[in-house]
Structure 1
Amino acid sequence: MTNQDAVTNEGAPLLKVEGLVKHFPLRKGLFQRTVGAVQAVDGISLEVRAGETLGVVGESGCGKSTMGRLVTRLLEPTAGRIEFEGTDITHLGVAGMRPLRRDVQMIFQDPYSSLNPRHTVGSIVGAPFRLQGITPDGGVKKEVQRLLELVGLSPEHYNRYPHEFSGGQRQRIGIARALALKPKLVVADEPVSALDVSIQAQVVNLLDDLQDELGLTYVIIAHDLSVIRHVSDRIAVMYLGKVVELAGRASLYTGPRHPYTKALLSAVPVPDPARRTKRGRILLKGDVPSPIAPPSGCRFHTRCWKATDVCKQQEPPLLELAPDHRVACHHPEPAADAPADTAKAVGPNR
């Protein structure tokens, strides 16, 4: 996909997800009877527009990575619908997904376990060509060496093994492999969380440059709000398997409407002590409830300082409260909400 294609299709949904659900069954006993389910993803609806970057944030265990594996069809959904370029890919098998693998690729979180230590870099990055039966112009080796240069590595690394590289270099190898077939959509699952802080910015900037150069569309999953702010056009905030807020970057960071989003943003480090004191910190007491038995109504009500009886009884729908700003909350924050000037300690009994 070229930059011109991205401009032409700007605003069109490249990926559309409706009511996406993934429950992992819990089995017990000699006969492995199903006694419950982990509700990892429980009714997500969103769109990813061509040429944009959608950031997905939330606490550990909220279902971000599961959602990423569902939209790339590495996991089979329990319910819901996934469309890519208008085609329903929800239940396509291995054979049906094979042609689409050229257009949808994934960058994995751990650069150490995602690369086979027995294979050379040339074999790893060239694997997509062999699996798809494609011979690029000039041959596989020449194309792999071009890809290595594209991600900031040397063509001479072709015959080396993964153990000879640092974490940041291994992640660049993973990125080269994901870009081999010129995909339209790349899902990056925590692409920098396993890397040293000094290397994270380099990889993030590389992803940014590659998007501009190749016209890529990204879904970037992360728990670091600073990374997400740097790379994203729109941001989806997840809590316990659900999207609680979906908005443009500027709108979300300057005026979060969901209490959970506001609490997350209050935890982002601020280097200026004066601004830090003025903004305050919202402290959420208690742990995230178990996805095996999530709370009734709004799943955040057990930790929310604004919770009322309606929050405990009715699940709030994801509604558009402002242009391109959707929130799932019975008591959303005001649009021009001023930062808190004192720290709040909130718990399940409020």
Structure 2
Amino acid sequence: MDEHHGSAQAATETRPREALLSVRDLQKHFPIVKGILRRQTGAVRAVDGISFDVHKGETLGLVGESGCGKTTTGRLLTRLVEPTGGSITFDGRNIAHLRQGRLRPLRRDMQMIFQDPFSSLNPRHTVGTIVGAPLRIQNVKTEHGVKRAVQDLLKLVGLSPEHYNRYPHEFSGGQRQRIGIARTLALRPKLIVADEPVSALDVSIQAQVVNLLDDLQHELDLTYVFIAHDLSVVRHISDRVAVMYLGKIVEVANRDTLYSDPRHPYTVALMSAVPVPDPARRDRAQRERVLLTGDVPSPINPPSGCRFRTRCWKAQEICATQEPPLVPQDGDPDSHLTACHFPVGRDDEIKGRRSADKRLG
């Protein structure tokens, strides 16, 4: 899978970098209300001013700890959640504040794969009804009818056309996720937001679904935003990776650069937790593991300045007073962006790991 994806990535990098999706200063604050009068006393700053681009034909991986705002970001991109502020430019049009009537035709071009294949399918409906629903809702006319179109979609995702009249409970978790993917592809979208699409599946099934998504991308010229917490999965499928922490994007780089040379201390800690399959390297990796101190701060009252400073071994006074901007590290605005006053270099990465271990006693 690496060799196949590597050649595809090289081909992608030679094409003009045209953004299908551009996000600028996107925010989502969930209000906290109390009392009989339901007065707002605060807000959960789930997504708090993020900006990134997704280019046509690429996969942008979005990673981070639970509660960092990944899923909320995915739902904002597809307008399943209303943004508090910022812009979402999809295919040249700002859709951040479009009314549902004007947004509905655009939903043909953007779809979502949900995390749980068990709850995302209506148990009362047959596979044919579930997969054909987008065609009926959007009133799409097919050459040979909806049934034939659904059966073709089932074959496309590795299922049998004979499954048309079966119900979700008759399938395994991996098969249910394939049904969900078939439903997502029904309208031939340009952009697919995949929210933890393999986290609920067994490891062997995860590989099959990831390979399927990779094959579909090249066959149908799809663009993905792939949300996950498993960095090993993200490494296989992504062209570029964005790292989130407490509602902010702290680092963005192409896949190979991020995994070989992480710059943000939080990214270094995440990378150190990735399992190493090679026994010869495993002992060394375990010795260099970064164990972060403290808990993740509350998104209701995040730290001032850099939000990671309360757990960072490189934090200094400026980190508490000034929020670091997400800026390029090597002069190329499209290559490696890091939001850190003191980004980690190759020389001091090991020092930082040892320092983190000492702080833990």
TM value normalised by structure 1:
0.95
Structure-2 residue corresponding to 1:286: 294
1:148 is matched with 154
Q: Is the 8 A contact 1:286 1:347 kept in 2?
A: no
Aligned length: 346
SS, match of residue 183 in structure 1: coil
Deviation at 1:93, TM superposition (A): 1.6
Given candidates 300, 311, 327, the residue that maps to 2:338 is 327
CA contact (8 A) 1:283 1:343 kept: no
Alpha-carbon contact 1:278-1:341 (below 8 Å) kept? no
Task: List, as ranges, runs of 4+ consecutive aligned residues in structure 1 with deviation greater than 4 Å.
Answer: 6-10, 335-344, 346-350
Query: CA-atom RMSD, angstroms?
Result: 2.0
Give the unaligned 5+ runs of structure 1.
none
Task: Tell me the distance in 1 between the aligned counterparts of 2:164 and 2:56.
Answer: 32
Equivalent residues in 2 for 1:1-350, closer than 5 Å:
10-279=16-285, 280-322=288-330, 323=332, 324-334=335-345, 339=350, 343-345=354-356
- SS of 2:299's equivalent in the other structure is coil
- Check conservation: 1:303, 1:348, Cα contact below 8 A: no
Unaligned runs of 5+ in 2: 1-7
Counterpart Cα distance in 1 of 2:146 and 2:194: 24
Identical positions, percent: 68
CA contact (8 A) 2:26 2:87 kept: yes
Q: Deviations over 1:120-155 (max 9, x none)?
A: 100000000111011211000000000000000000
Q: 1:328 to 1:342 in 2, by over 3 A?
A: closer
CA distance in 1, matches of 2:301, 2:328: 28
Q: Residue 326 of structure 1 aligns to a residue in which SS?
A: strand
Deviation at 1:258?
0.3
Deviation at 1:286, TM superposition (A): 1.5
Question: Residue type matched to 1:333 in 2?
Answer: V
- What CA distance in whole angstroms lies between the structure 1 residues aligned with 2:322 and 2:283? 36
Letter in 1 for 2:255: R
Task: Decide whether aligned partners of structure 1 residues 138 and 249 sit closer, same or farther in structure 2, where only a CA change above 3 A counts.
Answer: same
Distance in structure 1 (CA, Å) of the matches to 2:360 and 2:348? 25
Shift of residue 272 of structure 1?
2.5
Q: Which one-letter code corresponds to 1:167 in the other structure?
A: G
SS of 1:136's equivalent?
A: coil
Q: Name the TM-score, length of structure 2 as normaliser.
A: 0.92
Aligned partners of 2:94, 2:359: CA distance in 1, in Å? 41
Tell me the CA shift for residue 285 of structure 1.
1.8
Deviates more, 1:264-273 or 1:179-188: 264-273
